[in-house]
Amino acid sequence: MVMVEETTKLILPALVIPIHFAYGQKEQPFSAGMGEEEEKRGLCLIHLLVACANQVAAGSVHHANVGLEYISHLASPDGDTMQRIAAYFTEALADRMLKATWPPLHRALNSTRIHSLADQFLAHKLFFQFCPFLNLSHALTNQAILQAMAGERLVHIIDLNPFHPSQWLSLLRALRARPEGPPHLKITGVHEQKEVLDHVARRLNEEAEKLDIPFQFNSIVSRLENLLPERLPVKMGEAVAVASVLQLHTLLADGPNSSAEFLEKDVQISSPAIPPSKLSNFLTGLWSISPKIMVITEQEVNDNAMNLMDRVMESLNFYAALFDCLESTMPRASLERLKIEKMLFGEEIKNIIACEGVHRKTRHERLDKWNVRLEMAGFRKAALSCHSLMLARRLLQSWSFQGYKIRDENGSFMICWHDQPLFAVSAWRRRRGNTMIH
């Protein structure tokens, strides 16, 4: 099994390794559990991938082609962890090279490709089922909302990605058990697929009726980038909570300057010559509806860089950990595992590596950058409670997942694979006063 901390040490020196890698070269093993041949192949693939990416970044078609040829003999979408990662990174590098060198050929090959929302939804659902990350995010979000809404009689939750009803089913039961009784609960769900919203609404209405909780579900069929938060159906007297799971980073794709490697561009938003970004407008809209609590989950990786090699290095380490999670819990021949890797991770990797400008929607950033963005938009950090941390750790123990950890980082929680943070959960409140930067 590939240990991420060992992988990181090996990836960085690979930048200076030539593409004709010597197979017999001695290196530190990934982990004691790997066979010698598997270990050698994994090391070789890391070096080849990074060297090939360097050639693609430099526009050297011949050398990149040589690298892809080498990798193709070692990579496999149904092999071990590194073989699978290499298969998807190779596809992304080839797609980028083809797009840059022969645009008409790239367009022709992709002219009939169907991007199915149903496939994306299925992949997210399987990821939710077989890895604990989203389950933990939902549990932490619910606990923050319960604590913030203690004593409130009219509660309105804005869910920016209600792809699965289980989160709110749990919340309904917890609200029913409140000493003061349940509030009148309204949930507004925002999703591109009406079928997803209909399914969630049906399950929640059934559960609310069974529990005798006054409940209303509002469906908004929309892409997040087209949503105007200030027009959400929020009424006077409602205590508002906002839940965003792996959504806000999509708003960072915002025109020719969207590859925001540094936050200095955001600081300049107040200049009349630079219009507000899509993200800053969206956060301003959320601020205007006065949320009592906002809980955000985002990937803990910075692959939103202008430099291709920076993106390759960051995403290679991040996805190595995610592929390793699946290696530890699912058989290599599992069809469900293949769907998660191909339709979710593979599509994200391709978008990170092969796309630029507004076409690059997968733009993850670490919590430290989100902290700055949210503070600039008029929010202040609300520390997640120790009780929430203990609850999440108990859930992990009850699920018998091995290798996963949760740690507190200044009031936000990091969900980790071994010691590598992969997802950050943070809570926010509206800061009073005219403090927003426009």
Domain range list for the chain: 4-113+305-359, 126-303+363-430
Tell me the C-alpha to C-alpha distance, in Å, between residue 383 and each of 62, 255, 392, 415, 427.
52, 34, 15, 16, 6
Q: Is it the case that residue 33 has pLDDT exceeding 80?
A: no
Tell me if 173 sits within 8 A of 417, measured CB to CB: no
433 confidence band (pLDDT: 50, 70, 90): low
pLDDT at res. 227: 93
For residue 263, how many other CB atoms are within 10 A of its CB?
14
Q: Which fold has domain 126-303+363-430?
A: Rossmann fold (3.40.50)
More reliable by pLDDT, 252 or 269: 252
Q: What is the pLDDT of residues 94-139, one digit of tens each?
A: 999 888 777 777 677 776 676 667 788 888 899 999 999 999 999 9
Q: pLDDT, tens digit, for every residue of 326-380?
A: 998 899 999 999 999 999 999 999 999 999 988 899 999 999 999 999 999 999 9
**Where residue 269 falls among pLDDT bands split at 50, 70, 90?**
very low
Residue 406 has pLDDT above 50, yes or no: yes
Task: Identify the pLDDT of residue 239.
Answer: 97
Long-range CB contact pairs, 328-334, < 8 A, 24+: 328/1, 328/402, 328/403, 329/130, 329/131, 329/401, 330/130, 332/78, 332/79, 332/80, 333/78
Average pLDDT along the chain: 84
> What pLDDT sits at residue 114?
65
Query: Confidence class of residue 276 from pLDDT cuts 50, 70 and 90?
Result: low
Contacts of 114 (CB under 8 A, 6+ apart): none
